[in-house]
Amino acid sequence: MTWKTIFISIISLFLFLMISGCGSNVKNENIPAEEEWGEGLGELPNKIGEEQDLYGTNFLSPGKSTNAHKLSEYTEYQTPTGNWFLHDGQGHLGYGITSGTQKTGSPIFIDLISHEGNGTTINKEIHIQLTQRNSELEKMELIIEETKSLGAIKGEERIYSAKLPEQENVFYILSAEIIDEHGEVEDTLISLIYVPSEEMNVEINTNKETYQSTDSEATLKIKNDGPTILQLGKHYSLEKK
């Protein structure tokens, strides 16, 4: 094969690759050019639902924390002591308790966990309540009340289970109090449960209508009117037109 033949073969291959590459980038004829887009084409709405009373029954009032160790400040329950339930490095019993956002009719539970080889002997009564609350965490209604005797806890044991009422947009507090022989509370375990309707009323915007080509940052503003509490994932994209 001569150098001339090799040169022609290389040119032919180069042209073939160029044609193949161009063929893969042919525009979809069903989609018009961007400058011809009509109203709404290629865009997503920035609002779902309607504006609501933000601090009605949908959310806790400002300043109220959902932290379990803070709930005693807003309610009639005593502060956790660490005498029994693990708290600030003290206590004998780990625990699991239903909390957070739940659906109507969902199961609720209280588990106690002993990390001692022979188990943890309690021999006390435990007082369990489920109470409905308003957005200020004030008590509205006693839903469940039960007192039972606790002997020894070995490993992990479910000491209580029930179901939430079929009611939406309400707060509950689930509590467990260990009571001594004189009727005094030795330790307290409390959690906050929220049951929203499966509905979103939310608006999302950037902090400016337009940006300069030299801008390197944009602030995303989200206004959630509930009743659903939003949780955002990590993945998103921001495109510059």
Residue 43 has what pLDDT? 67
R_g of the chain, CA atoms, integer Å:
30
Residue 147 has what pLDDT? 96
Q: Residue 182: pLDDT above 50?
A: yes
Alpha-carbon distance 95 to 84, whole Å? 10
**Span 123-147, pLDDT tens digits:** 999 999 999 998 889 999 999 999 9
What are the strands of the beta sheet with 202-206, ordered from one edge? 47-48, 202-206, 220-224
Q: In what helix (H) or strand (E) does residue 74 lie, and over which residues does it extend?
A: helix 71-74
- Please report where in the chains the tokens 């032919």 appear, as a residue: 12
Domains along the chain with CATH numbers: 71-195 (2.60.40.10)
Residue 241 has what pLDDT? 66
**Span 43-102, pLDDT tens digits:** 677 888 777 665 444 566 666 766 767 888 889 999 999 999 998 889 999 999 999 889
Helix (H, G, I), strand (E, B) or coil at 111: strand
